[in-house]
């Protein structure tokens, strides 16, 4: 019933969260964030690349609309950081910061970290430790997805879009080895898709 690109039709188990539902929830998150942060001080929005870029863009568009359509407003700037913790569908156990701006401008600021998915929580805890080195005034985390997994360290972000089962989800910029980012919906990739796009293991 949902449109997916032809080249992915045989690689998906199911559409889990359709695009329209993502947008509705993102608008609600934007309202909650604006209400909680208030209008007194600027916010630095920090996007975790690559998987967070679509959620980040849509969330900021909704926040900007709220900023334009009220009698009060606040300044908002953006920064980006890139992390890597997965190969194929397995966490590597190593969290690499492989790109990002100079985070010095987070010092003394209100920071909103925008992430695509919280899995075990280890990656976000690592990032929070990194961000805290710059002594921000306040840090809040918003994640589109939180995975229900027995491997979780118990971390929960401040704002959650959806909880998802312990399956490998793709789409809406979430990837499997850089594939599936061009899906509009959040989907579950099947075993055929995992095999098709797997990175060969080195000896």
In angstroms, the CA 95 to CA 83 distance is 7
119 flagged as catalytic: yes
Catalytic residue among 11, 58, 116, 119: 119
Find out whether the peptide bond into 13 is cis, omega within 30 degrees of 0: no
Opening angle at CA 88, ends 144 and 54, nearest 5: 30
Half-sphere exposure (Cβ direction) of 18: Cα atoms closer than 13 Å: 5
Catalytic annotation, residues: 119
């Amino acid at each position: 019933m949902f449109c997916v690109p032809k080249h992915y039709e045989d690689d998906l188990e199911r559409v889990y969260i359709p695009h329209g539902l993502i947008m509705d929830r993102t608008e609600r998150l934007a309202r909650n964030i604006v209400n909680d942060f208030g209008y007194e001080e600027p916010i630095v929005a920090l996007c975790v690349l690559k998987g967070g870029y679509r959620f980040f863009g849509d969330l900021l568009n909704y926040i900007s609309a709220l900023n334009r359509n009220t009698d009060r407003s606040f300044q908002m700037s953006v920064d980006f950081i890139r992390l890597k913790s997965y190969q194929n569908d397995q966490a590597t156990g190593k969290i690499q910061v492989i790109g990002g701006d100079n985070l010095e401008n987070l010092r003394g600021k209100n920071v909103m970290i925008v992430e695509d998915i919280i899995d075990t929580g280890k990656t976000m805890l690592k990032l929070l430790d990194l961000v805290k080195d710059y002594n921000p005034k306040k840090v809040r985390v918003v994640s589109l997805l939180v995975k229900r997994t027995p491997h979780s360290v118990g971390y929960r972000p401040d704002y959650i879009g959806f909880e998802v089962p312990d399956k490998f989800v793709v789409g809406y910029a979430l990837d499997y080895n850089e594939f599936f980012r061009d899906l509009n919906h959040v989907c579950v990739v099947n075993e055929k898709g995992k095999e098709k796009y797997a990175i060969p293991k080195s000896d």
